[in-house]
Structure 1
């Protein structure tokens, strides 16, 4: 019986995953843009425009959007402490904050 080289076996096993990669490559920003176009949520820029002025002294690290709940989570850091701010993506209202 002939042995299959490990790299060939790995390539064979991962082939189905490669076929799905284009859909998985879409960024949160692109998905958020599409949701905004459909009128489901406010744009990331609109959300950032409402929240960033309230976070003076914090470094803004980016956001995530939970498409199931339409909640943006913006991530900040100050003095080595991470702070998350949850924002309703439909209304733009801050609904929660964790950290200092």
Structure 2
């Protein structure tokens, strides 16, 4: 079997793509951790309700949809919860202070 040597530009391109793939999860994990820390600080400071309480309130109005995940916006103290029902994604915005649903998006 004979090995072919790739041109330098192809080798560099492959190396750069691999470097991006390897570093993406690390960067994403750091961002998610910062978001969780901000949500916890807001809860401890009394600016938002505990997430478990908010999730229970939203779950009760989701008519059997499956919970997928959430995001916290520390600037507005709002949560965005993601659900799936009948193969469709539904985003629900909840006020972190009251737990009230303030918006829906499909």
TM over 0.5, yes or no? Answer: yes
Alignment partner of 1:26 is 2:4: no
Alignment RMSD: 2.8
Structure 2 residue ranges without an equivalent (≥5):
1-11, 17-26
2:98 is paired with a residue of what secondary structure? coil
The 8 Å contact of residues 91 and 105 in structure 2, kept in 1 or not, is answered as yes
- 2:97 pairs with 72, 87, 90, which one? 90
The 8 Å contact of residues 54 and 94 in structure 2, kept in 1 or not, is answered as yes
1:3-82 matched pairs, under 5 angstroms: 24=31, 26=33, 28-82=35-89
1:50-86 CA-partner distances (Å, limit 9, x unpaired): 1111112211001111000111000001122110010
1:9-62 CA-partner distances (Å, limit 9, x unpaired): x9xxxxxxxxxx7x6562533431221001111111011011111112211001
Structure 1 residue ranges without an equivalent (≥5):
1-5, 11-20
2:33 is paired with a residue of what secondary structure? coil
Distance 2:62 2:34 in 1: 25
Q: How many residues align?
A: 87
Q: Which protein shows a greater Rg?
A: 2
The 8 Å contact of residues 42 and 77 in structure 2, kept in 1 or not, is answered as no
